[in-house]
Structure 1
Amino acid sequence: MAMSEGLVFAFVIAVGFVTAGVLSSFVQLVSGQPMRFFVEHRSLAASIGSVLLRVLAGPEILMRNAWRGMIVEKRPQGWFWLASGIAGFWSLLIGCLLIDILLNV
């Protein structure tokens, strides 16, 4: 029974991280620049949409920055693993939210 719970857990994390990656890649395709956590101040609706988009794409942004920090900026690997844990938990939350929404539609 524990193996199937672990697979569900991994599936939910994967759903969250893939969603983050697809959204981030789509924004980069449209805008030509990778997503950042910085939010530009525009209209209220655009700012709210921008924040929601960054909440959903956050794990990918965090992992890209952590990878770059480890490889290019030579930061200690501990920071990379800490960011990986945070991104994994964040992906779990996003995956739970999306699966809950899909199952209740």
Structure 2
Amino acid sequence: MPLSVQFMLLGFCIATGFVSAGLAGSLYQLVTSEPARFRLLGPSVPAVFLTFLFCAVSGPFIIMRNAIAMARKEADMLVWLLGSALIAGMWSACSGLLLLDFVLAARAGL
């Protein structure tokens, strides 16, 4: 497979992961009227499991929202913003790849 096609697939995985993170974070904010954060949703075992799943999906959105908010407060935050974008991009690529794999497996099973 040519390298250009591999980069396009990587970009598609990153976009898929970040869009799913944004949808999950925005849905959480719509339901609870507070922004998504890295914190436990409750003390029970199912709540901890749900927190893990939620943070795994919405993590890139939370990271970038917090990084942009910090960059607006302080002037010299370009390195921090680029580092956050790199982490969120890699996280989005991984979660997007898992999500696309799940969708394709579900489609093949129909």
- The TM-score normalised by the length of structure 1 is 0.93
Report the alpha carbon displacement of residue 47 of structure 1 after superposing the two structures with TM: 1.6
Residue 66 of structure 1 is matched in structure 2 by 67
Report the alpha carbon displacement of residue 88 of structure 1 after superposing the two structures with TM: 0.1
Report the alpha carbon displacement of residue 84 of structure 1 after superposing the two structures with TM: 0.4
Residue 58 of structure 2 is matched in structure 1 by 57
Q: What SS is found at the alignment partner of 1:101?
A: helix
- Which consecutive unaligned segments of at least 5 residues does structure 2 have? none
Residue 92 of structure 1 is matched in structure 2 by 93
Query: Over aligned residues, Cα RMSD in angstroms?
Result: 1.3
Residue 16 of structure 1 is matched in structure 2 by 17
- Which consecutive unaligned segments of at least 5 residues does structure 1 have? none
Where does structure 1 differ by over 6 angstroms across 4 or more consecutive aligned residues? none
Residue 33 of structure 1 is matched in structure 2 by 34
- Which stretch shows the higher mean deviation, 22-31 or 3-12? 3-12
Q: Aligned equivalents of 1:65 and 1:76: distance in 2? A: 12
Residue 6 of structure 1 is matched in structure 2 by 7
Aligned-residue identity in percent: 35
Q: Aligned equivalents of 2:76 and 2:65: distance in 1? A: 14
- The TM-score normalised by the length of structure 2 is 0.89
